[in-house]
Structure 1
Amino acid sequence: MNKRAKQLVLACSLPVLILLGMCFTPVYTMLTGEEMILQTKPLDPSDLFRGDYVALQYEAEEVPIKLVDKAVVTRLQNQGQFDVFVLMEKKNGVHTPIKVTLEKPDKGIFLKGTINYIDKDNNGQKIAFIGYNLDNYYLEDNTGTEWEKASAKGEILAKLKVNNGYAVLTDISTK
């Protein structure tokens, strides 16, 4: 093989290797991750042009300030958005946050998320708003309306696979 042919093979294989590398973490998580169930909150999606999907918002995205480490609060005031680790505990079949920290937990199941801001909820309690990038689930055709109604009532449970804080949304079900 001459030099030009080797360059062509290298140039063609590099994008393929990059795409395969991007698939590794989600596939590895699906195969080896622990299962987690999250409770959703009512949400009414507004984009009708994406096909059948349901927009999800989770109770675990609004964490009471008492569960957030002081170092996280201080850093948020000085820096703005950044990644945190949310240690979860299973209660009544659903995983809920028990601690938000800067350090990756040594044991237990946890999610890696982005803390956005701290504000008060409808009851006047201070809470931290954390995003997990698990907000849309695409559905089988002609089933979106049923799931939208269930989502608006907060009746959907989301099933995830989690590995080392990285989560993949695998399924949804109603209570």
Structure 2
Amino acid sequence: MTSGRKLIFASIALALVQIIFLGWMIVDRAAVLRDGREVLLKVEPVDPRDLLRGDYVILSYGISRIPLSMVADIDELDEELATRTTIVVRLRKAQDGYWEAVNAWVRPPPTPAGADEVDIEGQIPALNRVHMQGEVRVTYGIERFYLPEGEGRAIERDMGSRPFAVRVAVSNAGKSQVKALMDGEQLLFQEPLY
């Protein structure tokens, strides 16, 4: 085989690997949206614009701040945080219909979530690990919601005066994806499956 043919086969193989990887990312995200358990979280906005991707809302949740007293394996926290940044937060539906944190672990939970509970996986940012004071800040990868152009500022303004929420799909493995942005009971924007 000539070096030209080897180069062509190597290029085709590399292209196929990249296509398979991108396809896997899309299918994985769609699987969470399609099959994940749906939870409703109250949101707090931060900022509405990204120059490259357009309008968005940065979202913060009540479950973004976990009291250290809620972390069940708190005695192992200092050693774990030196090497591990993953945290599992158990959510349960409250009386008002929103889901809230009831427990958390830096190691895998000792028991599976009950029928009325969901375990969501988050990350503890490195800066937070250095400056913890009574709570752990957690990110879940659902802190941004992109909107049609021109919608971000109006929604950010309205979030201060009305209750907004996000419907989130959570897979059995704890992965999460934003499904929809809600203004009270009204659906504002829904994330497409693909």
State the AA in 2 paired with 1:168: Q
State the TM-score, normalizing by the size of structure 2: 0.74
Matches within 5 A, 1:3-152: 9-41=12-44, 43-45=45-47, 47=49, 49=51, 50-69=53-72, 70-75=74-79, 79=82, 82-91=85-94, 92-101=96-105, 102-104=107-109, 105-107=111-113, 108-116=117-125, 117=128, 119-120=132-133, 126-152=134-160
CA distance in 1, matches of 2:84, 2:14: 37
Deviations along 1:15-59, one digit per CA (max 9) or x if unpaired, are 211211222321111121110111112x33174624221111111
- 1:55–1:137 contact (8 Å) kept in structure 2: yes
CA RMSD of aligned residues (A): 2.6
| Percent identity over paired residues | 16
Misfit runs of 4+, over 6 Å: none
- 2:170–2:177 contact (8 Å) kept in structure 1: yes
State the AA in 1 paired with 2:24: G
CA distance in 1, matches of 2:162, 2:136: 20
Richer in strand (by share): 1
State the AA in 1 paired with 2:86: D
State the TM-score, normalizing by the size of structure 1: 0.81
Distance 1:169 1:46, change over 3 A: closer
- 1:169 is matched with which residue? 178
